[in-house]
């Protein structure tokens, strides 16, 4: 078979001899046939199982005809809003419209609607009244049950109901989409496809369901925040394929939304099969006239080695989407892809990343997990590493060594983030030393997020003492190797639990680092994270303790400004924050002061704010600019959209 892009027009269908497609895939991103894009994986997996798939990318949702360009599919429509939640894609945490969209040709903003998954499904339903619609992707996956929506400040229905879709597939979707396709191809009505793991469906009859958990109703979680928090935690503890139960959420008028347990994680062979499919590894040539698709730049020469994460960061949605069981590709599969990469005329010898949600996870957290599932109410690394945790970097180290030796490869970087607590838990320093020596591009990016232990506890991150231990060890190795490389710590402001006192403590830590953060993450409440639940309800769903929430825009601005206190534009906010907390000791001329007195600021704020407290060293100095790193999972948002993780492998990109 000739390797080519999937059909995007009737002419493409004719070229392939296709009169009617089995599936039409409607997507909110540009069509990029690369394994870092969800639509590429799902469409290629279906193709490998004998189904024809066509792509409608970014249809005009104001024009019903835009959904008919490939005709009516034989089996159904697939819908995905994109590699990011469309609302995160469109808006900053302050709800301001972004100016660019890295997933659109030319980076143009506005080519997809807000709440794109819902809008696309409604668009299809207006024209095709009875055709099955299956919705999936990150936006649908994280909105599969009743959820708090930050942008409207409301508790919304399951996306399945608002979209009018017949079936919602959550998680990564390779298994569930093939099972759904096989069921439809065998003649089963979409309304009777209620048995597939990793799916959500709606019904009025629960008589065929057994051993399920009845969640509070939509009306109950909408009206009572404590009930919402308890319901969320029930969902959170039912995300593992081995131990999860079926969840049922009642809605008005006798409707139930039913979530089946998650699909089983892929084996290494299955992961290899997915990533060995005939991807074109770039965007469709129809976008050349627009300057291409910006998102391809970061991922074209990156390698996915794993998925899933047992890190357990509260602000990360990976538990809901990919799960906590780490799944890996074989060395052979990754190396084969790297060899193909080196043949690309644009390859300059640099592999940008070898990783996933967390780069240094190349095995499940423990052997028990594979037989009995993950612990529903305990974390593997937090608040300290579990006694059963298997800590080893040997496999990852071996993989990186093989990649470094490939002809044409000059450098292999690790850019998708590491868990520093897992790294220092490894008694063997071999990987640590080789990482510093070979795999850092001058700066190592890590995410301590904060220095206040109370805030770190709510973040699901290790104590500040653990981070300081890591820094000491890193500095020692870096000095021994004579490299003088820097650490770029990612910091977060305004996370639930963070008071102005905590923010000032963080500012003092930044002062002592001699480091001026170019970017600060202001906590972004995205669907289906523990942190978002805390933000909305004021409760930590794990303990039901009340949590302070800095939700006023003014306080959030002060907390953010404190981290960047040297910026003269932040002077008034920093001054107000310090005065409100009685921290006049930080206003003055001493080496421990953050800002000078107001009357001395005058017209020379820039000079005042960058006085000589900066110290060259581990964190560099004020002249060394930091670089953005792509977040691993959604919910990890930096200051501008194009620097997001180009995939949910993911995000966002997060970030660990």
Q: Could you read off the pLDDT of 353-405 as tens digits, one per residue?
A: 999 999 999 999 998 888 899 999 999 998 999 999 999 999 999 999 999 99
Among 158, 181, 201, give the residue marking a domain's end. 201
Distance separating alpha carbons of residues 491 and 494, to the nearest angstrom: 10
In tens, the pLDDT along 140-178 reads 999 999 999 999 999 999 999 999 999 999 999 999 999
Quote the number of domains for the chain: 2
Same-domain check for residues 408 and 522: yes
Same-domain check for residues 533 and 408: yes
Local confidence band at 520 (pLDDT 50, 70, 90 cut-offs): confident
The answer to whether the pTM exceeds 0.75 is: yes
In a domain, 478, yes or no: yes
In a domain, 279, yes or no: no
In tens, the pLDDT along 322-365 reads 999 999 999 999 999 999 999 999 999 999 999 999 999 999 99
Percentage of the chain lying above the pLDDT 90 cut: 86
CATH number of the domain enclosing 43: 3.40.50
Same-domain check for residues 311 and 188: no
Local confidence band at 183 (pLDDT 50, 70, 90 cut-offs): very high
195 pLDDT higher than 50: yes
What pLDDT shows up at residue 620? Answer: 56
User: Which region among 389-398, 525-534, 625-634 has the lowest average model confidence (pLDDT)?
Assistant: 625-634
Instruction: Name the average pLDDT for the chain.
Output: 91
Among 201, 233, 257, give the residue marking a domain's end. 201
What pLDDT shows up at residue 2? Answer: 67
Local confidence band at 517 (pLDDT 50, 70, 90 cut-offs): confident
What pLDDT shows up at residue 617? Answer: 55
**Length of the chain (residues):** 656
Local confidence band at 528 (pLDDT 50, 70, 90 cut-offs): very high
Same-domain check for residues 197 and 305: no
State the virtual CA torsion across 323, 325, 330, 336 in degrees, nearest 10: 20
> By CB neighbour count within 10 A (0-12 exposed, 13-18 middle, 19+ buried), where does 102 fall?
buried
In a domain, 394, yes or no: yes
181 pLDDT higher than 70: yes
What pLDDT shows up at residue 618? Answer: 67
- Is the separation of the CB atoms in 174 and 42 below 8 Å? yes
Q: Give which of 165, 55, 75, 178 is closest to 118, Cα–Cα.
A: 165
Query: What mean pLDDT comes out for the span 525-533?
Result: 97
Residues of 234-268 as b/e, b for ≥16 C-beta within 10 angstroms? bbbbbbbbeebebbbbbbeeeebbbbbbbbebbee
Sign of CA dihedral 359, 363, 38, 495: negative
What pLDDT shows up at residue 464? Answer: 96
Same-domain check for residues 165 and 306: no
Query: What mean pLDDT comes out for the span 237-264?
Result: 97
CATH number of the domain enclosing 432: 3.80.30.20
Local confidence band at 580 (pLDDT 50, 70, 90 cut-offs): very high
What pLDDT shows up at residue 417? Answer: 85
Locate 23 and state its tokens: 């599936």
Local confidence band at 613 (pLDDT 50, 70, 90 cut-offs): very low
Same-domain check for residues 318 and 182: no
What pLDDT shows up at residue 600? Answer: 58
From residue 1, alpha-carbon distances to 17, 34, 287, 430 in Å are 13, 18, 24, 45
What pLDDT shows up at residue 95? Answer: 95
Locate 32 and state its tokens: 């990029």
465 pLDDT higher than 90: yes
450 pLDDT higher than 90: yes
What pLDDT shows up at residue 515? Answer: 80
In a domain, 652, yes or no: no
Among 168, 201, 234, give the residue marking a domain's end. 201
Local confidence band at 646 (pLDDT 50, 70, 90 cut-offs): very low
Residues of 501-525 as b/e, b for ≥16 C-beta within 10 angstroms? ebbbbbbbbbbebbbbbebbbbbbb
Local confidence band at 416 (pLDDT 50, 70, 90 cut-offs): confident
In a domain, 128, yes or no: yes
* Domain with 107 in it: 10-201
In a domain, 209, yes or no: no
Percentage of the chain lying above the pLDDT 70 cut: 91
In a domain, 262, yes or no: no
User: 């006085």: which residue's tokens?
Assistant: 611
In a domain, 619, yes or no: yes
Query: What mean pLDDT comes out for the span 108-131?
Result: 97
């Amino acid at each position: 078979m000739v390797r080519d892009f999937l059909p995007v027009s009737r002419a493409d269908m004719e070229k392939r001899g296709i009169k009617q497609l089995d599936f039409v895939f409607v997507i909110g991103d540009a069509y990029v046939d690369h394994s870092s894009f969800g639509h590429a994986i799902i469409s290629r997996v279906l193709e490998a199982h004998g189904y024809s798939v066509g792509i409608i990318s970014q249809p005009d949702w104001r024009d019903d005809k835009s959904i008919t360009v490939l005709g009516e599919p034989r089996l159904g429509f697939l819908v995905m809003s994109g590699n990011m939640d469309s609302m995160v894609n469109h808006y900053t945490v302050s709800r301001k419209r972004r100016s660019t969209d890295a997933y659109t040709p030319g980076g143009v903003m506005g080519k997809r609607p807000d709440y794109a998954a819902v809008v696309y499904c409604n668009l299809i339903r207006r024209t095709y009244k009875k055709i099955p619609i299956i919705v999936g992707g990150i936006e649908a996956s994280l909105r599969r049950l009743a959820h708090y929506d930050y942008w409207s400040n409301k508790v919304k229905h399951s996306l399945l109901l608002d979209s009018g879709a017949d079936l919602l597939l959550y998680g990564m979707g390779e298994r569930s989409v093939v099972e759904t396709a096989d069921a439809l191809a065998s003649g089963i009505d979409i309304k009777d496809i209620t048995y597939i793991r990793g799916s959500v469906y709606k019904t009025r009859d629960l008589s065929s369901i057994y051993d399920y958990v009845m969640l509070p109703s939509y009306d109950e979680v909408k009206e009572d925040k404590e009930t919402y928090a308890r319901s969320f935690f029930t969902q959170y503890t039912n995300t593992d394929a081995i131990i999860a139960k079926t969840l049922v959420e009642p809605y008005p008028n006798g409707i139930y939304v039913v979530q089946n347990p998650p699909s089983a994680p892929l084996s290494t062979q299955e992961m290899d099969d997915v990533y060995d499919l005939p991807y074109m590894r770039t965007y469709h040539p129809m976008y050349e006239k627009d300057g291409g698709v910006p998102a391809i730049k970061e991922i074209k020469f990156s390698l996915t080695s794993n998925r899933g994460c047992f890190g357990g960061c509260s602000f990360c949605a990976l538990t809901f989407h990919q799960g906590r069981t780490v799944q890996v590709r074989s060395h052979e599969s990754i190396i084969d892809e790297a060899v193909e990469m080196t043949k690309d005329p644009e390859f300059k010898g640099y592999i940008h990343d070898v990783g996933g949600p967390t780069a240094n996870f190349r095995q499940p957290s423990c052997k028990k997990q594979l037989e009995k599932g993950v612990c529903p109410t305990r974390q593997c690394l937090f608040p300290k590493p579990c006694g059963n945790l298997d800590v080893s970097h040997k496999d990852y180290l071996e993989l990186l060594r093989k990649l470094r030796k490939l002809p044409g490869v000059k450098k292999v970087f690790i850019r998708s983030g590491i868990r520093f607590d897992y790294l220092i838990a490894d008694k063997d320093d071999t990987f640590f030393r080789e990482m510093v020596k070979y795999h850092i591009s001058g700066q190592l990016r890590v995410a301590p997020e904060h220095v206040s232990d109370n805030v770190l506890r709510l973040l699901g991150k290790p104590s500040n003492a653990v981070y300081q231990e890591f820094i000491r060890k890193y500095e020692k190795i870096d000095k021994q190797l004579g490299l003088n490389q820097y650490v770029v710590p990612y910091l977060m402001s305004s996370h639930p639990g963070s008071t102005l006192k905590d923010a000032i403590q963080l500012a003092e830590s930044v002062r002592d680092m001699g480091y001026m953060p170019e970017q600060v993450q202001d906590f972004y409440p995205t669907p289906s994270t523990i942190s978002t639940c805390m933000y909305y309800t004021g409760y930590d769903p794990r303990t039901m303790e009340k949590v302070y929430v800095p939700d006023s825009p003014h306080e959030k601005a002060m907390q953010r400004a404190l981290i960047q206190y040297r910026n003269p534009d932040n002077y008034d906010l920093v001054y107000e924050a310090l005065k409100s907390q009685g921290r006049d000791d930080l206003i003055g001329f001493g080496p421990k002061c953050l800002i000078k007195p107001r009357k001395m600021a005058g017209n020379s704020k820039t000079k005042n704010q960058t006085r000589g407290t900066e110290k060259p060293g581990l964190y560099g100095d004020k002249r060394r600019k930091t670089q953005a790193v792509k977040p691993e999972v959604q919910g990890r948002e930096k200051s501008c959209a194009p620097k997001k993780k180009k995939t949910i492998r993911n995000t966002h990109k997060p970030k660990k």
